[in-house]
Amino acid sequence: MKIITISREFGSGGRELGKRLAEVLGIPCYDNKIIEMIAKENGFDEQYVANVSERSIEAAYPMTIGHRFAMPPLQIMDQSIRVAAAQRQIIENFAKQGDCVIVGRSADAILEEMHPLNLFVYADMDSCVKRCMERAPAGENLSRSEMERMIRQIDKQRSQYHQMYSDMKWGAKEGYHLCINTSGREIKDLIPALAAYVQAWFGE
Amino acid sequence: MKIITISREFGSGGRELGKRLAEVLGIPCYDNKIIEMIAKENGFDEQYVANVSERSIEAAYPMTIGHRFAMPPLQIMDQSIRVAAAQRQIIENFAKQGDCVIVGRSADAILEEMHPLNLFVYADMDSCVKRCMERAPAGENLSRSEMERMIRQIDKQRSQYHQMYSDMKWGAKEGYHLCINTSGREIKDLIPALAAYVQAWFGE
């Protein structure tokens, strides 16, 4: 069974890398589909789920900012724990169904016992900012420094989310089988060699 | 110009990886040849040069152990600085001659301006110990814990040596283009995909 998990710094192109890799390997790639499915199954608002999905419980509740020790109401807390639990189950179900690429959501830690190949995708800040600028939705007009702050914040949230599932530090190379620096690179140029790496890894 | 530098944790198989990669790419791999050449050019004792080559100046002089603030005699200090300087020059000369793989000796930092592809090879402690045990010279009989200590010590020396040439921390993924975890893997199985990665990197 080929399970490939992709962890990635925001703006590094990890999501694109996952999609392209899955395409070449001829296997599904699960990403925001996971969120959609949770949203549908649980009747949650999709945007809400998107907001929770890769953030720590605390980060998902901006109303607690400035109230360092304030906790969200028990009911809301319950709900975000349910979302995280549902995500974990869905990831496990996807993995059981067969070969796949899963981007984000700490699938590396959640699926540890299935021995996935864990990739980490990263890039220097310049490259991340550039990629984010190019892909910014129309109307979003962040300055360079705002963009940098957003990138750092999202990476911090990903790191916190990962802590729910593992003691291994998010982004520390020891937790991954291959760490790919995409600075100044076109993702698509790296895909054939990475696909070959995946196949060699799984003994094909 | 294809310059590939290999930095590696002791016992991770980085040296084997460098040699095999160079073979497949059809380019030279420089490793202990560098040391031999320095030894010949400078008339130094080869074993002495081997000892200095990848260690910090301090570490190359075990007589200073226990004398934390003692300095080696000026003359010896001079010599080890000359050896490091000669190594740097030889690495630069090799790189100027054409495509090559260079294993260790902080070539990643020394050749920075030539834009090499910098690989870092690492593995978990179990794998490093196993590899070292398999390759131990006849007569060497280190216990598991002695072996672990030796591995950590050599990696520390490599890290210190790197500091002579760069502020980038040795082994921090940000300083490399691809970090390869060889835990429980046969190096040879990974080579074809890595060779493809190298070729894609240099636009071939």
| DSSP run (H or E) holding B15 | helix B14-25
Residue B117's closest chain A neighbor by CA? A181
What integer pLDDT is reported at residue A56 of this predicted model?
Answer: 47
Q: Is the CB of residue A174 less than 8 Å away from at least one CB of chain B?
A: yes
Q: Is the CB of residue A179 less than 8 Å away from at least one CB of chain B?
A: yes
Q: Is the pLDDT of residue A84 over 80?
A: no
Which runs of consecutive H residues, i.e. helices, occur in A70-186?
Answer: 74-97, 107-110, 125-135, 144-163
Cβ contact, residue pair A178, B177, below 8 Å: no
| Chain A contact probe: residue of B119, B173, B194 with most A CBs at under 10 A | B173
What integer pLDDT is reported at residue B60 of this predicted model?
Answer: 43
Cite the beta strand spans of A18-81 per DSSP E.
29-30
Which residue from A179, A183, A193 is facing B197, i.e. has the nearest CB?
A193
Cβ contact, residue pair B193, A196, below 8 Å: yes
* Residue numbers in chain B where pLDDT is lower than 50: 39, 55-69
Measured between beta carbons, which residues in chain A are less than 8 angstroms from residue B173?
Answer: 120, 122, 171, 173, 179, 181
Which residue from A124, A180, A200 is facing B192, i.e. has the nearest CB?
A200
Q: Is the pLDDT of residue A67 over 50?
A: no
Cβ contact, residue pair A193, B190, below 8 Å: no
The predicted-structure confidence for B50-72, as pLDDT tens digits, reads as follows 555 554 444 444 433 344 445 55
Cα–Cα distance between B85 and B165 in angstroms, integer? 11
Cα–Cα distance between B171 and B197 in angstroms, integer? 20
Residues 6+ positions from B5 with CB-CB distance below 8 Å: B101, B102, B103, B107, B108, B111, B116, B117, B118, B119
Radius of gyration of chain B (CA): 17
Residues 6+ positions from A42 with CB-CB distance below 8 Å: A49, A82, A83, A86
What integer pLDDT is reported at residue B64 of this predicted model?
Answer: 36
What integer pLDDT is reported at residue A39 of this predicted model?
Answer: 45
From B198's Cα to the closest Cα of chain A, the distance in A is: 9
What integer pLDDT is reported at residue A204 of this predicted model?
Answer: 77
Q: Is the CB of residue B189 less than 8 Å away from at least one CB of chain A?
A: yes
pLDDT winner (highest mean) among A13-17, A32-36, B49-53: A13-17
Strands B178-181, A178-181: pairing kind? antiparallel
Closest CA to A22 of A103, A87, A86: A103
Is residue A116 within 8 Å of A6, Cβ to Cβ? no
Q: Is the CB of residue B44 less than 8 Å away from at least one CB of chain A?
A: no
Strands B178-181, B100-103: pairing kind? unpaired
Task: Please give the distance of CA B121 from its chain centroid, rounded to a whole number.
Answer: 10
